[in-house]
Amino acid sequence: MRTLKNFIDGAWVGSHSASVLPVVDPGNGEVLCNVPAGCAADIEHAAEKAAAAQGTWRNVPAEQRIQYLFRMKRILEENADEIATLCTRESGKTLAESRAEIVRAVENIEVACGIPILMQGEFSEDVAQGIDEFVIRQPLGVGACIAPFNFPVMIAFWFFPYAIATGNTYIIKPSEKVPGTMTRIVELLEGAGLPKGVLNLVHGGKETVDAILTHEAIKAISFVGSTKVARYVYAKGTEHGKRVQAQGGAKNSLVVMPDADVATTTRIIADSVYGCAGQRCLAASTVILVGAARTAFTDLLVEAARTRTTCHGLDRTSQMGAVITRESRIRIEAVIEDAARKGATVLVDGRTGPVTGSAGGNYILPTVIENVPDSAEAATTEIFGPVMNLQYCETLADAIASINAGRYGNAACIFTRNGSAARTFRRDVLAGNIGVNIGIPAPMAFFPFSGWKESFFGDLHGQARHAVEFFTQTKVVVERWYDEWTRTF
C-alpha cells in the first residue's frame, strides 16, 4: 500500500514520522493509500526551506509571479477529470460536485492573477513642503493553511494563490482524511515550474498543526474546519504572534415565505440540504417554513428527500454520495435518534443500512425531521449530514429571532418574492453570507468568504481583497529629498 509523501523544497520526501493512517473511500470502504501521521520535524523542515525560498521569491516582480498562476490554471483545467475522480473517491461526493470544486479553485487563481493591481499602494504628494508620503504592501514571509476534509481541492485555493502572488511562500496541510487529492494536484502543479520551496505540502494531524501554530518562520495561518478546532487554532496561533483567520462550523437556516415560488424553491432547498451529503459549511440544516408555507412545502420537501438517488459518487446516476467516515455516519444516526427520542417526528428516515451496490460505504439517505425540541442536539449543533430539520413559525420576525439565537453565523437564506421582506432579512440576520432566493450563498472568488459569530475567528476573510490584505503588511514611507530641502529653506 502506497504511503503519501510530503513535498518540500521541490522534492518528494518521506515523513519523519513512521506511523501512518489509512485513507478510505467513504463510498465502499476500500483503503486507497496511507498518509503519514506527521510530526513537528516535518513542519520544521518545510518552514525552514519555505523561509529560505521567500527571500528570493519576494524579489520576483509581481507581474512575473503571476505567470506561474496562469500556468497552474491551465494545469487544473486540463486535468480536471482526473482530479475530480480522485476527489470523489476520497471524499464520497458526486463527480459533478467534485468538478464544481475545481471550478471554484480556478476562479481563485484567476482573481489572484490580478495581484499587480490588487497590491498597488497609495501615494500622496506634498503632504508638507517637499515631503511625499506613501503606503506599500509587502509579503509577510511564510504562510500555511490547514484544510478540512469536505473540499479536498478548493479550500487551499482560497488562500495559496494570493499568498504566493503577493510574494510569500507557502505550506499546505490537507485533511488526513482526503490527502491524496491535494498530493496529486501538487504533483501536477510541479509542471508550472515554480521555484523550489515556494509551494510545499506537509501531511499529518494534530501534531503537525501544533507545529504550524508555533513555528517561528510561519507568519500567517488560514484554518478551515470545525468550530472547536478553529477556536483552538486562533487562540494558539495568535498567542504565538501569527496572523490567523479561522473559519469554523455552521448551522445554516433557510427561511421560506408563503409567497416563494414553490417548484424552484423546493428544488433549491433539497440541493442545499443534501448536496455533498450535507457536508458543506454553507449547506442548509434548518428549513423554517413561515405561515402558509408549511402547507405548501412540507409534502414536496418530503417527496424531494424520498426521490434523491443515493449511491457511490462515481456512479453517474448519483445525486448524493456517502458521508466521510463510519464514525460520522454513526454520529449523524445518533443525532436523528436523539431528536426522535425527545419528541421530534421523523418524516423521512435515512437510517436504512447499506446502499445497494455500495456495501461497505457510509451511507445515510436524505432524512427529514420536524418539531425538533430545543433540547435535542439536532436543533442547535452542526449535523454535517443529509438531515433537514423542518421548523414552523408565524412571522418573518420570529424566523429571524430563531436564527439569531444560534451560536453560528455562517449563512442564512430567504425565499420570497417580496423585496421588503428580503431587505429586512439581509439587514437583520446575524450571519456573514446571505442568500436571497439562493440555497448556497457561496461568494465568487472576487468577494471575501465571510462568516460571523462562532463560524469565524479573525478579521480578514479568505478570497479577493481580504486575502491580499491578509498576506501582506503595510509600510508607510514619509520621504524628503535633500535638494528639495535646500530649495525650500
Catalytic residues: 281
- Which residue's CB is nearer to ligand NAD, number 179 or number 291? 179
Tell me how far, at minimum, the Cβ of 247 lies from ligand NAD, in Å.
3
From 47, 172, 186, 224, residue interacting with ligand NAD (rule: CB under 6 A): 224
The stretch near ligand NAD (CB under 6 A) out of 84-92, 101-109, 169-177, 481-489 is: 169-177
- Which residue's CB is nearer to ligand NAD, number 66 or number 250? 250
Instruction: Name residue, grid cell 465568487.
Output: 444
**One symbol per residue from 319 to 358: x for binding ligand NAD (CB under 6 A), - otherwise; what is it?**
----------------------------------------
Report whether 254 contacts 415 (CB < 8 A).
Answer: yes
The DSSP result for 36-61, as a single string, is E---HHHHHHHHHHHHHHHHHHTTS-
Report whether 172 contacts 156 (CB < 8 A).
Answer: yes
Q: Is 250 in the site for ligand NAD (CB under 6 A)?
A: yes
Q: Which residues contact 27 (CB under 8 A, 6 or more apart)?
A: 88, 89, 92, 311, 312, 313, 314, 321, 322, 358, 361, 362
Using CB under 6 A as the binding rule, the residues of this chain from 147 to 166 that contact ligand NAD are: 147-151
Alpha carbon separation from 447 to 69, 84, 209 (Å, rounded)? 19, 25, 28
- Which residue's CB is nearer to ligand NAD, number 209 or number 244? 209
Report whether 396 contacts 292 (CB < 8 A).
Answer: no
Q: Is 382 in the site for ligand NAD (CB under 6 A)?
A: yes
Q: Is 234 in the site for ligand NAD (CB under 6 A)?
A: no
Q: Closest CB to ligand NAD belongs to which residue?
A: 225
- Which residue's CB is nearer to ligand NAD, number 94 or number 227? 227
Instruction: Output the CA torsion sign for 181, 184, 189, 194.
Output: positive
CA dist 486 and 489 (Å) reads: 5
Tell me how far, at minimum, the Cβ of 260 lies from ligand NAD, in Å.
26
CA dist 62 and 165 (Å) reads: 6
From 455, 466, 468, 469, residue interacting with ligand NAD (rule: CB under 6 A): 455
Q: Is 410 in the site for ligand NAD (CB under 6 A)?
A: yes
What does the buried/exposed string (b/e) look like for 329-365 if buried means 16 or more CB atoms within 10 Å of the residue's CB?
A: beebbebbbbbbebebebbbbbbeeebeebeebbbbb
- Which residue's CB is nearer to ligand NAD, number 206 or number 423? 206
Using CB under 6 A as the binding rule, the residues of this chain from 268 to 307 that contact ligand NAD are: 281
Report whether 269 contacts 256 (CB < 8 A).
Answer: yes
Q: Is 451 in the site for ligand NAD (CB under 6 A)?
A: yes
From 84, 163, 229, 311, residue interacting with ligand NAD (rule: CB under 6 A): 229
Binding footprint of ligand NAD, residue count (CB under 6 A):
28
Secondary structure (3-state) at 174: coil
Q: Enumerate binding residues for ligand NAD (CB under 6 A).
A: 146-151, 173, 175-176, 205-206, 209, 224-226, 229, 232, 247-250, 281, 382, 384, 410, 449, 451, 455
